[in-house]
Structure 1
Amino acid sequence: MRRGYSTITPAVVHALTRRTLERTLGWTDYKRSVTGAQLLDLVLRVASTTRTLFAVATRYFQFSHEAARQAVRANLGSGDQLTARLVNALHDVARFTRRDRRRRWTCAIDVHYVPFYGDRATPGIIGGPKKAGTSFFHAYATAVLIHKHRRYTVGLLAVHKGTKPHQQVHTLLDHVAARGLTVGGVVLDAGFDRGETLLLLQERNLSYAVPMRKKGSGTNRRNACDAQPSGTIATMEWVTEKTRRSVSTRVLVWRRPGESHARVYAFSGWGDAGAVSEATRAWLGRRRYRERFGIETSYRQKNQARGWTTSTSPEYRLLLEGVALVLRQVWVCLTLRIARARNRNPKAWVHELPLVEMLDWLTQRIRSRYPRTRCITLTHKILTAAPMH
């Protein structure tokens, strides 16, 4: 049985995060120089301070940075193994109940791009629209639950060159299903507006909401709905380019006040078709899509706990991404406990424990476990103390 806590302290934060990683990563001692516990503390210190492994190992641990690097490398495993372990860690922190597993959740799936400025031949990078001074990135797809105070990350995937959007969605949904959660609806960014993606969601009988982009500059079946007045509900049909499969979906044309053009949202589900009108289901789908905007905030929060690196190892970069998500997951879990203990409104901000404060707690706790001798020995007595008056 897991130990319960009535007071949240730096020791509790450290114990929760390290024990979670101990159970899920399965890291072991590296020779005689680095123990498994030290290795996990090292990685957590890298994450909580957003520094490099070299900087943390040389300043706060007795073993060398090269020993630390080799120890991490020896425990990483393959990309697939590491992905499964990190997803297990995310679910281990969330501790979903039986009631949670009977519920039909709405998931937001998105891709987060980490700018890369090194050699273009580096494994694991993909191209994309220019952003932050580069057109090359390490990319990670995530699945996040849309729920007040429970915006848990439940799926993680490193996106490699050639991985199609519908393959990313397929893998993330499998991650969630394999760990006992039921997904009832999915909201996606415009990057997932491919026919293969919609066909996958329809085959799984999932509700969905996806903004549809224009295809080409001319008039075609994909672009015809853009000319319709706001509020129009229509059917969009086309054929996929490579597989030549027929795609058909209902869409809502909507223009927000102040915008110069309307947006087209593909939708399906969001209520019993026999009991809820199609207009209501279209409105519900659009509202669900707007709720996914909180993912951007989640990404910014996650970046506060992502260690810095110039490594070309896709597995090590995935580790830093996953540990950052785990730390954010711990913070979400703790703030939920605080909100429930204080009988807070689900929309209320929990000001007692900001994420940056929790990370500082973790940093100080790990620092206290590895005291550092602060002195520099010189070969000659070249320093003299000024006389005190």
Structure 2
Amino acid sequence: MSKQAKQADSEIHEDQLLNFLVNRLDEEVSLTLANNAEIDPEDIHEVLVGATADGTSISTLCNSSKESPPANTILYHLRTKFEPERLERVANKPLRRDVVELLPEQVEVCADLHLRSYYGDEDNTEGLYHSEAKRGTTAFHAYATLYARVKNKHYTLAVRRLEDGDTASSILAEFLGVLDGLDTGVKAVYLDRRFYDSKCLTLLQAHNYAYVIPIIWWGETIQQELSEGWSRVIEHDLTGKLDGHSWTVEFSVYIDCTYLNGRYDDHGVARHGYAADAPFIETPRDARYHYSKRFGIESSYRLSEQAIATTTTRDATVRFLYVVVSLLLQNVWRYLHYEYVATPRRGGRRLWWLARSTRQSIPHSASIAVTSRSSWCWS
């Protein structure tokens, strides 16, 4: 069957997509402006969405049209009208608002921690996240994302900005709370290696979620296990401490060995260890296979960089706002495409590229033009 025969008749143009997103922001993120303000909240949201979709800065977008609001006015409101705590509270509601109905009865979820290096003034790092040195700095713009993986498509369910005092276990506790509140079941939770510690493993066991986490070579015992032998399953434990009390969490480690002559060590053997507890994982190869599927698509935060407003600001709240809108744009695109365009077929609907068109304007008072992006192919 030809591609044209399989494709649905309907199309979604960028003006429809972006207007839908602007309406979502207007509904969920209320802004209070002065009575004599020359712009309204919708203008701010339209410029914010337009810059995100176009992958450009607020200043560039505003300066491209004589009828647009002044860039300094928009940037002022972005810095002053979005309180950090309130933004984090309301950010996740629009992310989940539409996509939860697209989730199957059992869903696989992934969680990532992302650190973006900060190289600014060392005395001006309030609101940033400090961690061990990486790429010449210990200060980072840091974010955590929780997303569902459905037939090689992903839907972001939650995003969280990290600050000093946040730990992997505190973030995981929040994300597990999100999962507990879903109407769908959770088949398994796939976490990146930063979640490998005694507290996170204890949380997963307490919530009775199936999980897979790559292990870190902590301690002589596990280092020895991962430096010799062939594929096998071993029992391991980690000790945690909290408020003077200690406990031990026990779990299975699946050690999978791969061989490729001359690529790894002198014997050509690479050993991958995974802390795992899932009914569908019986062998080390199962653990590695299922965990590797989380990389079948880009992680949610890395994928968001395909369409995100650019900026040089050091304001952590503004940068987080850009991340939220970028992730929301992806979710809205998949939701609208699935509901109105995607072609039903065996194995799941097929999502098509967003149709490219000539420059169109989002219909609002400023008439800011938004260029369609060929990178909008999130399938």
* TM value normalised by structure 2: 0.80
* 2:26 aligned residue (22, 29, 46): 22
**Unaligned runs of at least 5 residues, structure 1:** 272-277, 373-389
2:223 matched to which residue of 1? 223
* Paired letter, 2:361: R
1:322 aligns with 2:318: no
Label 1:230 to 1:84 Cα distance change in 2 as closer, same or farther (>3 A): farther
The equivalent residue for 1:10 is: 14
* SS at 1:96 equivalent: helix
CA 1:93 to 1:365, structure 2 compared with 1: closer, same or farther past 3 Å? farther
- For residue 338 of structure 1, report the CA deviation from its aligned partner: 6.7
Identity over the aligned pairs, expressed in percent?
Answer: 21
| Cα distance between partner residues in 2 of 1:294 and 1:136 | 30
User: What letter corresponds to residue 12 of structure 1 in structure 2?
Assistant: Q
* AA partner of residue 225 (structure 2): C
Residue 34 to residue 344, structure 1, CA distance change in 2 (3 Å): farther
Cα distance, 1:333 vs. partner?
Answer: 2.3
Cα distance in structure 2, aligned partners of 1:91 and 1:191: 25
Look at both structures and tell me which one has the larger radius of gyration over its CA atoms. Answer: 1
Give the structure 2 partner of residue 33 of structure 1: 38
Deviations 1:307-341 (A, max 9, x none): 12222322211110100101111222244347742
Which structure has the highest helix share of the two?
1
Q: 1:65 to 1:134 in 2, by over 3 A?
A: same
Give the drift of 1:235: 0.4
Structure 2 residue 310 is the aligned partner of structure 1 residue 308: yes
- Cα distance in 2 for partners of 1:28, 1:7 equals 35
Deviations 1:75-118 (A, max 9, x none): 313x2321222211111241526xx48x2322110112223221
Shift of 1:302: 0.7
8 Å Cα contact 1:228-1:253 kept in structure 2: no
- Equivalent of 1:266, from 262, 275, 278? 275
1:224-271 Cα shifts (integer Å, max 9, x gaps): 431453321110023225652101001111023325331111111234
Question: How far did residue 7 of structure 1 move?
Answer: 3.8
User: Which residue of 54, 72, 76 maps to 2:82?
Assistant: 76
Assess if the C-alpha contact under 8 Å between 1:30 and 1:71 holds in 2: no
In the alignment, does 2:212 pair up with 1:209? yes
How far the C-alpha of 1:168 sits from its partner, in A, is 1.2
Please state which structure has a larger fraction of its residues in strand: 2
Structure 2 letter corresponding to 1:269: A
Q: CA 1:347–1:198 in structure 2 vs 1: closer, same or farther (change >3 Å)? A: farther
Higher relative CO (Cα under 8 Å, sequence separation at least 6) belongs to 2
Give the C-alpha shift of residue 304 in structure 1.
1.9
C-alpha change, 1:136 and 1:109, in structure 2 (3 Å) is same
CA contact (8 A) 1:20 1:89 kept: yes
Write the deviation string for residues 323-363 of structure 1: whole angstroms up to 9, x where unpaired: 01011112222443477425375496x44328xx5xx88x7
| Partner in structure 2 of residue 380 of structure 1 | none
CA distance in structure 2 between the aligned counterparts of 1:318 and 1:37, rounded to whole angstroms? 19
Distance 1:177 1:26 in 2: 27
Equivalent position SS for 1:230: coil
Amino acid across the alignment from 1:22: D
**Structure 1: distance between partners of 2:341 and 2:258:** 34
CA RMSD of aligned residues (A): 3.1
Counterpart residue identity of residue 299, structure 1: Y
Shift of 1:196: 0.9
- 1:159 equivalent to 2:155? Answer no
1:224/1:195 Cα in 2 relative to 1: closer, same or farther (>3 Å)? farther
CA distance, structure 2, for counterparts of residue 165 and residue 207 of structure 1: 18
Contact 1:116/1:134, CA 8 A, preserved across alignment: yes
By how many angstroms is 1:58 displaced?
3.9
* Counterparts in 2 of 1:193 and 1:24: CA distance versus 1, 3 Å: same
Deviation of 1:25 after TM superposition, in Å, equals 1.3
Would the aligned equivalents of 1:20 and 1:92 in 2 still touch at CA under 8 Å?
no
In structure 2, relative to structure 1, the CA distance for the partners of 1:337 and 1:230 (3 Å cut) is farther
Structure 2 unaligned blocks of 5 or more: 1-8, 369-379
Distance 1:311 1:141, change over 3 A: same
Pairing of 1:88-107 with structure 2 (within 5 A): 88-96=93-101, 100=103, 103-107=105-109
Distance in 2 between residues matched to 1:41 and 1:163, nearest whole Å: 33
Aligned to 1:185: 188
361, 364, 373: which one aligns with 2:360: 364
CA displacement, residues 352-376 of structure 1 (integer Å, 9 cap, x when unaligned): 328xx5xx88x7333886348xxxx
Q: Match for 2:73 among 36, 60, 67? A: 67
CA distance in 2: counterparts of 1:56 and 1:329, whole angstroms: 23
For the structure 1 residues 295 and 198, does the alpha-carbon distance in structure 2 shift closer, same or farther, using more than 3 Å as the test? Answer: farther
Aligned mates of 1:308, 1:75 — CA distance in 2 = 19
Residue in structure 2 matched with residue 353 of structure 1 by the alignment: 354
Residue 147 of structure 2 is aligned to residue 144 of structure 1: yes
Structure 1 pair 207–371 and aligned structure 2 pair: CA distance change class (3 A): closer
Name the CA distance, whole Å, in 2 between partners of 1:284 and 1:153.
Answer: 26
Aligned mates of 1:301, 1:334 — CA distance in 2: 18
Higher mean alpha-carbon deviation, 236-245 vs 149-158, is at 236-245
User: Would the alpha carbon gap of residues 261 and 106 (structure 1) be closer, same or farther in structure 2, given more than 3 Å must change?
Assistant: same
- Take 1:143 and 1:168, find their aligned partners in 2: how far apart are those partners? 10
1:209 Cα offset (Å) = 0.5
In the alignment, is the contact (CA less than 8 A) between 1:93 and 1:326 conserved in 2?
Answer: no
User: 2: CA distance between counterparts of 1:12 and 1:28?
Assistant: 26
